Amino acid sequence: MGDRGGEEGLRLHARKGALQVRIRRDRRSELVRRRLSPPAGDDGRQAPIGSGRERRAEARAEGSERASADESKRRLVLIRPAEAPRGHGRSRSDRRLRLAAPPDPRDTPGVTPAMRFHDYLDRLGSSWYLYANASNAFKDFLVWLAASSNQDQPAILMPSYIPAKLYRAALAAGYAVRFYEVHGDCRFDLDEVERQLGTQTLAVFFVHYFGFTSDIEGMSALARRRGVVLIEDCALAVDARHRGRELGTYGDVALFSMRKMFLYPEGGALVVSDRFRDFRPSYERRVSSCYSFPRYLLQRAKYAYVRLTGGADPLGLVRAGPAGYMDGNTQQRLSVKMLSPFTERRLKHVDLERVVQRRRDNYRYVLERFPLSTAVEPMHRALPDGCTPYSFPVLVRRGDRDALRRALVREGTVAGVGWPESPFDPALARTRLLSQTLLELPIHQALTRKQLDRSLRCVARSVRSA
């Protein structure tokens, strides 16, 4: 009995094992059949199945195509088109495609989305590119312009009142620089500009000083008539208009500065028109985020400090910015750098409309309360429609301009003095007078009303003592 029971148990165990093996085989066969069977056609019938080798080749090809398609989709979302260098440029034809992008949380029904800086640049020209600063963009374009024009000794005509770094950038590009005189409230003589245009002049440079413009229509017409390139310097303006037309669209090329208008550690932009749609930047290196991020944190700490103190500077931390310099050497070098990744990410979140409105509101606030005096006078007694001011420029008619600046700095106000290093032509006496008497009161978007009031009280004391 015991042996028979043991034999029956062994046979039962063997049958159970064989059944499990058969079940596994059936499952594998079903999986293989499903994997190899092609999808049914429109008529419900399946397409014929080829040999195993053919099926494997088709599967590999299908997998390769699917992977390539997935990779292409990822690239469409993550980078700009191939003709725009490394995510720093966008052409008008590319923008029309409107490639898929993640939704912005601000784009909600019933809420008007804030205008982004990239969208603003899209409106202005054919393509745009981001640089470490506007001087890098300026030099990069000048080098390309000379090469595309086959000009061995190119020349550029620039205003006499400019920062030294722009002058150095033109020299670094290999250009001979001539100047037309700027004086008074930053005006110039258009006839003088035309007289100075020579046969080797490739470009003329126009500056919207402190966000205010002058005869940009006349300069644009002159450039077209004489066949020279008009470079429009909008570094001290953003989202601005003159008689209904946007600044940055009058010239063939426009320069912008995120460093100046957004208070970033670095940042410049170049916008080119359809005339120069073949331009491509020649970046030599990129600014490190290790440079930008610590300066961003330091700036945030400084803003917290002055807000805590109501605009005062009890610790004496506020310092005036360094003056520009020119060493007299006509052989200059300047590396063309790309914007840092950190600052480029910050650009996606800037509220351009808020920046513009705060600057305009602060300018009007200071203008309405500015002391009436002939000793210190505003350069512009009204804010034109569409103007986005960089600062509140004044002319110190009597007294010591530099002494007033030092007093403002002691009060916690970082007042500018334009570009005291100019003019670079000693014969331009009216420009020298401008550079020695101009003072800039800050009115940027990070300032509080208490800080503006402190600046006004300091100016009022200076006026009374003048």
Say how far apart CA 374 and CA 355 lie, in whole Å.
32
d(CA 333, CA 60): 54
Distance of CA 333 to the CA centre of its chain: 23
| 304-333+352-465, CATH topology level | Aspartate Aminotransferase, domain 1 (3.90.1150)
Q: What is the pLDDT of residues 386-420, one digit of tens each?
A: 999 999 999 999 889 999 999 999 988 999 999 99
Burial class (CB in 10 A: 0-12, 13-18, 19+), 53: exposed
pLDDT digits 0-9 by tens, 120-157: 999 998 999 999 999 999 999 999 999 999 888 999 99
pLDDT tens-digit readout, 160-185: 999 999 999 999 999 999 999 999 99
Cβ atoms of 416 and 321 within 8 Å: the answer is yes
Count the Cβ atoms, other than its own, within 10 Å of residue 230. 21
Q: What is the rounded radius of gyration, in angstroms, for the C-alpha atoms of the chain?
A: 33
Omega cis (within 30) before 378? no
Higher model confidence: residue 16 or residue 93?
16
Confidence (pTM): 0.77
Please give the Cα distance from 156 to 197 (Å, whole number): 9
Q: How far apart are CA 213 and CA 10, in angstroms?
A: 102
- Tell me, what's the pLDDT at 89? 58
Mean of pLDDT values over 57-67: 49
Question: In the CATH hierarchy, which fold is given to the domain comprising 86-98+109-286?
Answer: Aspartate Aminotransferase; domain 2 (3.40.640)
Report which of 276, 258, 278 is spatially closest to residue 268, judged by C-alpha positions.
Answer: 258
Q: Cβ distance 415 to 394 under 8 Å?
A: no
Q: Hey, which residues does 40 pair with through a beta bridge? A: 46
Domain boundaries in the chain?
86-98+109-286, 304-333+352-465
Tokens representing residue 426 in the block: 């000693």
* Secondary structure (3-state) at 161: coil
Q: Are 448 and 361 in contact (CB under 8 A)?
A: no
d(CA 254, CA 276): 12
